[in-house]
Amino acid sequence: MAEHIKTKVLVVGGGPGGYVAGIRAGQLGLDTVVVDGDRLGGTCLIRGCIPSKAIIHAAEMFEQMSHAAAKGGHVGISLSEPPKLDLAATVKWKEGIVDRLNSGVTGLLKRAKVRVVSGWAKFSDAKTCAVGDITITAEHVILATGSDPVELPHLKFGGDVISSTGALDLAALPKRLAVVGGGYIGLELGIALRKLGAEVTVVEAAERILPTYDKQLTAPVAQWLKKNGVEVLVSTKAQGFAGGALTVEGPDGKKTDIKADKVLVAVGRKPRTEGWGLENMGVDLAGRFVKVDDQCRTSMRDVWAIGDLVGEPMLAHKASAQGEMVAEIIAGHKRRFNPVAIPAVCFTEPEIVSVGLGPEDKVNGEVLNASFPWAANGRAMTLEGADNGGFVRIIARKDDHRLLGIQAVGRNVSELSGEFAMALEMGATIEDITGIIHAHPTLSEGFFEAALRTLGHGIHV
């Protein structure tokens, strides 16, 4: 039966941007409706951040057990037989985590008294959309439709050419996997599938892998790939896939065939701006993204946009921060989106974290730049993370010692991203860090030691 809902706030998309906006709006007492055509949680929860980290964890376990089953065992532990992989069971376990989080989000929205409408929204004007036979009119519209994987014209998704979504739902481990794109997804998932036993080749168009991070930071990942038999072809472009072979063209123009059972194409993501009536809303674009100001206002009054739809970095925590902010602005709070830094973490082997400026960024004035190697950190040794070439690095202004950037590459360094971001966001100086007692034995002592080294007097190196 046709229904007309009139609401204060309509959120389109229930990903980490949209559902957080919905919960916060509900908490603030705003009459709110969230619409999603899929399960709540968005790319991140259903087919992105969470499922990929689950598979990465399982792959780590499998690798460690394989080491224990090798001749002589590992760290004094030996297994009499190599571990067996039942990938379908691993995928089922991963789905259990996704289900738990999906019902968690559903419960949180319910508790915040937010109405959830399931279905695809199609806008006829800036404030009106249809979801099936339901019409929704709102005073404020928050667009949070997210992004989709980029498809290459000569490598269309389908069959054995898969996107990250397919790679997270494999029925069986491919014997040979070709990965097109050596960025976040290609390397996080390529490394996990290598650990599970697949033969992996990475085809990257740029001159090096993970081109958004500086070379020093990605070197330990490149070293792991080499040591573990992952072939990396840089300055190389994929041409097409036929008869179980991916044809690639190298920097010299020479064509080669790479045998592959599956091809994972991970060459970036594009904002979801088509197919839901954005063109009827009178909202301006900035390049391929929806244009917003520092409050996430679009060019149309009381239409807001957040998350992957509005630009880089396309990260879940940025989407959520914008969602929370927009709900508060609608409720009358004074807020702006101007973070000093948004942390970026790559869950490769080893992990990479980067917050703020790197050594290749332009800075007015002189900088101090010092790093501390995990090889000299006790906790890293106990985690078997001291011999991978990893380090933590600080970049600070020479004149007032204010921190400008912090990066690390090493085992479990993702967990340091909070301290790094807090230091930059609070405007910390090197002395603020060296004045804090860091618990022993932890990786955070490496950050403390890097700060000491910036001052020229590291203790443990």
- Considering CB under 6 A, how many residues would be counted as binding ligand NAD? 26
Q: Concatenated DSSP letters for 205-255?
A: SSSSSSTTS-HHHHHHHHHHHHHTT-EEE-S-EEEEEETTEEEEE-TTS-E
Out of 34, 40, 91, 238, which residue is the one contacting ligand NAD (CB under 6 A)? 238
**Rounded alpha-carbon distances, angstroms, from residue 29 to 104, 241, 332, 401:** 20, 54, 12, 44
| Chosen from ligand NAD, ligand FAD, none, partner binding at 33 (C-beta under 5 to 8 Å by type) | none
- Report whether 274 contacts 283 (CB < 8 A): no
Per-residue binding letters, 319-358, with ligand FAD (x by CB under 6 A): x---------------------------------------
Residue nearest to ligand NAD (CB): 183
- Can residue 203 be called a binding residue for ligand NAD (CB under 6 A)? yes
Q: Which stretch binds ligand FAD (CB under 6 A): 59-67, 236-244, 253-261, 307-315?
A: 307-315
- Can residue 211 be called a binding residue for ligand NAD (CB under 6 A)? yes
Footprint of ligand FAD on 115-154 (CB under 6 A):
120-121, 144-147
**Residue in 246, 98, 248 with CA at minimum distance from that of residue 165:** 98
Beta bridge partners of 403: 396
Q: Which two tokens stand for residue 173?
A: 């481990």
| Chosen from ligand NAD, ligand FAD, none, partner binding at 166 (C-beta under 5 to 8 Å by type) | none
- Which residue lies nearer to ligand NAD by CB, 121 or 346? 346
Please report, for the chain, how many H helices and E strands are present, in that order: 12, 24
| Chosen from ligand FAD, ligand NAD, none, partner binding at 206 (C-beta under 5 to 8 Å by type) | ligand NAD
CA distance linking residue 394 with residue 423, whole number of Å: 11
Out of 12, 321, 346, 404, which residue is the one contacting ligand NAD (CB under 6 A)? 346
Minimum distance from residue 239 beta carbon to ligand NAD (Å) = 10
Out of 87, 345, 423, 428, which residue is the one contacting ligand NAD (CB under 6 A)? 345
**Residue in 69, 68, 62 with CA at minimum distance from that of residue 86:** 62
- Can residue 36 be called a binding residue for ligand NAD (CB under 6 A)? no
Footprint of ligand FAD on 188-247 (CB under 6 A):
none
Give the HSE-up count for residue 304: Cα atoms under 13 Å, Cβ half-sphere: 30
- Can residue 206 be called a binding residue for ligand NAD (CB under 6 A)? yes
- Which residue lies nearer to ligand NAD by CB, 289 or 372? 289
- Can residue 208 be called a binding residue for ligand NAD (CB under 6 A)? no
The reply to whether 4 belongs to the active site is: no
CA distance linking residue 376 with residue 365, whole number of Å: 31
Give the three-state DSSP class for 352. strand
**Residue in 142, 141, 214, 224 with CA at minimum distance from that of residue 188:** 224
**Rounded alpha-carbon distances, angstroms, from residue 75 to 64, 69, 367:** 10, 11, 42
Out of 9, 10, 11, 13, which residue is the one contacting ligand FAD (CB under 6 A)? 13
- Which residue lies nearer to ligand NAD by CB, 348 or 377? 348
- Can residue 164 be called a binding residue for ligand FAD (CB under 6 A)? yes
Peptide bond before residue 350 is cis, with ω within 30 degrees of 0:
yes
- Can residue 268 be called a binding residue for ligand NAD (CB under 6 A)? yes
**Catalytically annotated residue among 57, 317, 440, 457:** 440
CA distance linking residue 363 with residue 357, whole number of Å: 9
- Which residue lies nearer to ligand NAD by CB, 117 or 248? 248
Cβ burial 369-391 (10 Å sphere, 16+ → b, else e): bbbbbbbbbebbeeeebbebbbb
State the Rg of the chain over Cα: 24
Q: Which two tokens stand for residue 364?
A: 């007015």
Residues in the site for ligand FAD, rule: CB under 6 A? Answer: 12-18, 35-38, 42-44, 48-49, 52, 120-121, 144-147, 164, 185, 272, 276, 307-309, 314-317, 319
Residues that bind ligand NAD (CB under 6 A): 152, 180-186, 188, 203-206, 211, 237-238, 266-269, 313-315, 345-347
Active-site annotation, residues: 440
